[in-house]
Amino acid sequence: MKKRALIYMLCLLGTLCTLSAKDKKSTPLYKDAKAPIERRIDDLLSRMTLEEKVMQLNQYTLGQNNNVNNIGEEVKNIPAEIGSLIYFDVDPELRNGMQKKAMEESRLGIPIVFGYDVIHGFRTVYPISLGQACSWNPGLVEQACAVAAQEARMSGVDWTFSPMIDVAHDPRWGRVAEGYGEDPYTNGVFAAASVHGYQGDDLSAKDRVAACLKHYVGYSASEAGRDYVYTEISQQTLWDTYLPPYEVGVKAGAATLMSSFNDISGVPGSANHYTMTEVLKNRWGHDGFVVSDWGAVKQLENQGLASTKKEAARYSFNAGLDMDMMSHAYDSHMKELVEEGKITMAQIDESVRRVLRLKFRLGLFEQPYTPVTNEKERFLRPQSMEVAVRLAEESMVLLKNENQLLPVARQKRIAVIGPMAKNGADLLGSWCGHGQDKDAETLYDGLLAEFGKKAGMRYAEGCKVEGDDRSGFAEALAAAQWSDIVVVCLGEKKEWSGENASRSTIALPQIQEELVTELKKAGKPIVLVLVSGRPLELNRLESQCDAILEIWQPGVNGARSMAGILSGRINPSGKLAITFPYSTGQIPIYYNRRKSGRRGNQGIYQDITSEPLYPFGHGLSYTEFKYGTVTPSATRVKRGEKLSVEVNVTNTGTRDGAETVHWFIADPYCSITRPMKELKYFEKQQFKAGETKTFHFDVDLERDFGFVNKNGERFLEAGEYEIIVKDQKVKIELVE
């Protein structure tokens, strides 16, 4: 520890000495912390050679690459002039050593910006984003992102590749776990919350990091749920579904964006001038930069756009992609492309300006080094664990609770069964940063801590997550027979979701379903606890289980939260931010689809229901909420007038609880067809038993009733609109 601190002090001293040794008058403007950032950039740019500029537009890696999908040529001897590094370590010292090289061995002493995938926690791992969305609590998500930012920045990371805000309609796609579900508005709200949580008000603060909205854009529209593949997205759908969360994230101040891997109807996201330059930079005025996804520039060759890496560099850069992550296309070919006149110096300057702007905003020129602290000071702090526990509680969704089986009250003997019961690792989910298995309490231990004194417990694994070994069934059945209630913990391995983790079916492996069928023979009530990174096909399990609790991949503190819900210490309040299909064959299925040309029983499946098993917004509580009449301030409004709507909600049960009200609008007839309903606002409030609260929605007519056309232009048409809350519909007439 002492040695590390000494090295840090020496680095600091080194910088100070270098600065003071020079004649004060000759200190270049870009090193003057008091000068305006844009002037500092002008000054620095004027001193840079083309080679130095090009290096700012490249990102390599430092440390042990911990991601199997990040396949690429590692640069062992990193040049001091490199613009950015992905930092795969938690030790500030490794960063500081490299940064020292940049500060002292490069001609101009430009600091490196260190990035990393801090997705749902750095070391204190909290629920996956899909789970977070089901909390409908953006304030809490903001706090969680602030925890992640603190742990990351104090470990040497300045910039996170998060949030992912790809609206997902296909749960076969493994990355559905990483976003905030199927709705554009919801993704936008959580985009803003996480950007605020990561960045705060001051990027130079020692506990904040720069955010990166990804993957820009349309990556989630992957055909048949396969990763990296072609996406067919009409201009209308681009503007209706995929761009809106990005616009909100940009407005919230997101420092950077990551270009997507996917081919967007013939023009890959990483070579797309329309999305990166026309929309993002010109129309939305984003002044940060766009980094490619890993190797995405080079992938233009695989996608059949560029025949060489050099051509790929030209396509990407001319489209507005500022930084190349690990394709080695910009570092190898950019200089040549400028010399050949294929790229102008003005373009280079513009991209370098964007990169430098972030470095200045992060305060890296003044504070290039990370103070050396020990892990205890940074990680798993009590206040951080508290945020993780609350977010886990609120993200869990009680899908079914037949005959009010839950909370567990009288039952004195609990059988805890299943491959997820004593499995901490899979609770962390994909992209779990520097999370460690040992940090996560197992579901069994969580139950033991919760019920240990009140009830007897028996455990049997029953089966593995997959395979066909049924040898554990007998022991599991015996435990079930002994018990008053069976808690069966099933689910997915963490590797089954995330990048490159597509699945052809969203059902659990057959062995897990068979285990439940076996347990059913005991005739005891069954509570199914599900650990997953996506909605699952539950139709066969649903009929066999009395209660179902979806806990997602809840992170380090999920077990205690799950057990608290089962015991009734916590009243569940999560609601689905994504539809649970009845079966995989229904995919894509999502609530805000457009209307069909035929009604009634035409155009529906002939073999199964066409309804989802659990719709968007579904989630049960241990108390009941009764909605009063939805009341608008007017039923006829003119353009530019104000409109607000209210509804009183009463907790008519005997327990305290929380309710989220979702406000939808519908435009039954419009000059372009519109979705059946669209979420425009939501709010979650806490209730005491018996309490009544008022929920309020201020409608902005342009924003909420209006629509965008295929060029992203907004229109508001006169006519009839509907405001929808639960099963109530209020008609509003908009007159000219």
> Rounded CA gap, 97 and 4, in Å?
11
Give residue 178's identity as a one-letter amino acid code.
E
C-beta of residue 222 within 8 angstroms of C-beta of residue 173:
yes
Judged by CB under 6 A, which of 208, 214, 378, 390 binds ligand NOJ? Answer: 214
C-beta of residue 479 within 8 angstroms of C-beta of residue 414:
no
Label residues 427-441 b or e (16+ Cβ within 10 Å = b): bbbbbbbbbbeebbb
For ligand NOJ, the closer of residues 214 and 333 by Cβ is 214
Active site residue 293: yes
Rounded to a whole number of angstroms, the minimum distance from the CB of residue 175 to ligand NOJ is 8
Give residue 734's identity as a one-letter amino acid code.
L
Rounded to a whole number of angstroms, the minimum distance from the CB of residue 299 to ligand NOJ is 11
> Rounded CA gap, 77 and 574, in Å?
49
Catalytic residue among 89, 293, 426, 439: 293
Q: Phi and psi at residue 259, in whole multiples of 5°?
A: -75, 150
Angle made by CA atoms 137, 140, 144, in degrees to the nearest 5: 135
Rounded to a whole number of angstroms, the minimum distance from the CB of residue 635 to ligand NOJ is 47
Q: Phi and psi at residue 2, in whole multiples of 5°?
A: -60, -40
**Beta strands, E only, 436-579:** 456-460, 485-491, 526-531, 547-550
Residue with tokens 């997550």: 465
DSSP 162-186: --B------TTSGGGGGS--S-HHH
C-beta of residue 290 within 8 angstroms of C-beta of residue 216:
yes
For ligand NOJ, the closer of residues 326 and 666 by Cβ is 326
Task: Decide if residue 439 touches ligand NOJ (CB under 6 A).
Answer: no
Q: Phi and psi at residue 649, in whole multiples of 5°?
A: -125, 135
Helix (H) / strand (E) containing 733: strand 728-735
> Rounded CA gap, 314 and 321, in Å?
10
Rounded to a whole number of angstroms, the minimum distance from the CB of residue 161 to ligand NOJ is 4
Task: Decide if residue 652 touches ligand NOJ (CB under 6 A).
Answer: no
For ligand NOJ, the closer of residues 67 and 584 by Cβ is 67
Binding residues for ligand NOJ restricted to 154-213, rule: CB under 6 A: 161
Rounded to a whole number of angstroms, the minimum distance from the CB of residue 515 to ligand NOJ is 34
How many residues are there in the chain? 736
C-beta of residue 667 within 8 angstroms of C-beta of residue 716:
no
> Rounded CA gap, 258 and 295, in Å?
12
For ligand NOJ, the closer of residues 497 and 571 by Cβ is 497
DSSP 477-500: HHHHHH-SEEEEEEE--GGGSSTT
Rounded to a whole number of angstroms, the minimum distance from the CB of residue 505 to ligand NOJ is 23
Judged by CB under 6 A, which of 324, 450, 499, 550 binds ligand NOJ? Answer: 499
Rounded to a whole number of angstroms, the minimum distance from the CB of residue 255 to ligand NOJ is 15
For ligand NOJ, the closer of residues 151 and 293 by Cβ is 293
Task: Decide if residue 117 touches ligand NOJ (CB under 6 A).
Answer: yes
Q: In 3-state terms, what secondary structure has residue 275?
A: helix
Binding residues for ligand NOJ restricted to 702-721, rule: CB under 6 A: none
Q: Copy the structure tokens of residue 88.
A: 């795969």
Rounded to a whole number of angstroms, the minimum distance from the CB of residue 631 to ligand NOJ is 45
C-beta of residue 582 within 8 angstroms of C-beta of residue 631:
no
Rounded to a whole number of angstroms, the minimum distance from the CB of residue 475 to ligand NOJ is 41
Give residue 702's identity as a one-letter amino acid code.
E
Could you tell me if residue 285 is left (phi over 0), alpha (psi between -120 and 50 degrees) or otherwise beta? left
Binding residues for ligand NOJ restricted to 411-430, rule: CB under 6 A: none
Binding residues for ligand NOJ restricted to 41-80, rule: CB under 6 A: 67, 70
> Rounded CA gap, 526 and 59, in Å?
51
For ligand NOJ, the closer of residues 61 and 143 by Cβ is 61
Q: Give the interface size with ligand NOJ as a residue count (CB under 6 A).
A: 8
For ligand NOJ, the closer of residues 86 and 559 by Cβ is 86
Per-residue binder mask for ligand NOJ (CB under 6 A), 290-329, x = binder = ---xx-----------------------------------
> Rounded CA gap, 371 and 352, in Å?
27
DSSP 714-727: EE--SEEEEEEETT
Rounded to a whole number of angstroms, the minimum distance from the CB of residue 86 to ligand NOJ is 6
Rounded to a whole number of angstroms, the minimum distance from the CB of residue 261 to ligand NOJ is 6
Rounded to a whole number of angstroms, the minimum distance from the CB of residue 159 to ligand NOJ is 11
Nearest to 487 by CA among 547, 416, 428: 416
For ligand NOJ, the closer of residues 70 and 571 by Cβ is 70
C-beta of residue 699 within 8 angstroms of C-beta of residue 723:
yes
For ligand NOJ, the closer of residues 67 and 367 by Cβ is 67
For ligand NOJ, the closer of residues 66 and 635 by Cβ is 66
Residue 106 exposed, middle or buried by CB count within 10 Å (0-12, 13-18, 19+): middle
CB atoms within 10 A of CB 309: 18
Nearest to 684 by CA among 26, 64, 137: 137
Nearest to 535 by CA among 587, 581, 489, 499: 581
Angle made by CA atoms 468, 471, 473, in degrees to the nearest 5: 95
> Rounded CA gap, 172 and 614, in Å?
17
For ligand NOJ, the closer of residues 216 and 294 by Cβ is 294
For ligand NOJ, the closer of residues 431 and 707 by Cβ is 431
Rounded to a whole number of angstroms, the minimum distance from the CB of residue 67 to ligand NOJ is 5
Q: What is the CA radius of gyration of the chain?
A: 27
For ligand NOJ, the closer of residues 40 and 214 by Cβ is 214
Active site residue ranges: 293
The residues of the shown chain that bind ligand NOJ, judged by CB under 6 A, are 67, 70, 117, 161, 214, 293-294, 499
